[in-house]
Amino acid sequence: MSRIGKKPVELPAGVSAAVSGQTIEVKGPKGVRSFTASDDVTLAVEDGKVVVSPRGKSKRARQQWGMSRTMVANCVTGVNEGFKKELEIQGVGYRAQMQGNILKLNLGLSHDVDYTSPSDVTVTAPKQTEIVVEGIDAQRVGQVAANIREWRKPEPYKGKGIRYKGEYIFRKEGKKK
């Protein structure tokens, strides 16, 4: 039995869900998200809760049960609160600034990096050393943050680069004479 799958997903005030076949559509104050579950699970909306249950005892049905429940919960969280990833830039001369929907990164390369943010994700730079990525889709927010971080990953000797807020970088000792 899936411990995660057993729990119904609560629908907070202002969020509604509609099931048609294997697709659930969740509407909330931040937007609309939909998720299509596999044929191994059933989706049902019962008195303010979304219930996910397996359609058999096969291994695949049990695997899809917990995953489907988590995906529905992410849809509900996304349209109600949204998702947010914060990045920090560390390094002398490293900085970021927004110009329209283009994030300009100065990362010590021979050129500035221009990253055009997708339409469904909001990228902001409140300070020169901070980047905030927000949206209603957890996967898209994480992917955009990972794409930005990819330009200059934190290195282990000085810790320079783009890191997630609160991320610990394992530091190495330099070469000895």
Specify the pLDDT at position 98: 93
When pLDDT is averaged across residues 72-90 and rounded to a whole number, the result is: 94
Q: What is the pLDDT of residue 25?
A: 94
CA separation for the pair 148, 72 (Å, rounded): 27
pLDDT band, very low/low/confident/very high, at 24 (cuts 50, 70, 90):
very high
Please check the confidence at residue 1 and state whether its pLDDT lies above 80: no
- Local confidence band at 176 (pLDDT 50, 70, 90 cut-offs): confident
Exposure pattern of 53-76 as b/e (b: 16+ CB <10 Å)? bbeeeeeebbbbbbbbbbbbbbbb
Count of C-beta atoms within a 10 Å radius of residue 151: 14
**Mean pLDDT value across residues 22-42:** 93
Task: State how far the Cα of 68 lies from the Cα of 58, in Å rounded to an integer.
Answer: 15
Q: Are strands 49-54 and 9-10 parallel, antiparallel or unpaired?
A: antiparallel
pLDDT at 2 > cutoff 80: no
| pLDDT score recorded for residue 174 | 86
C-alpha span between 171 and 59 (Å, rounded): 42
Arithmetic mean of pLDDT, 101-108: 92
Give Cα 157 to chain centroid, integer Å: 29
Identify the pLDDT of residue 3. Answer: 85
Average pLDDT estimate for 66-82:
93
Across residues 131-140, what is the average pLDDT? Answer: 95
Residue 96's closest CA among 81, 108, 82? 108
Domains of the chain, start order: 3-80 (3.90.930.12), 83-164 (3.90.930.12)
Q: How confident is the model at residue 102 (pLDDT cuts 50, 70, 90)?
A: very high
pLDDT tens, 142-165?
Answer: 999 999 999 999 999 998 999 999
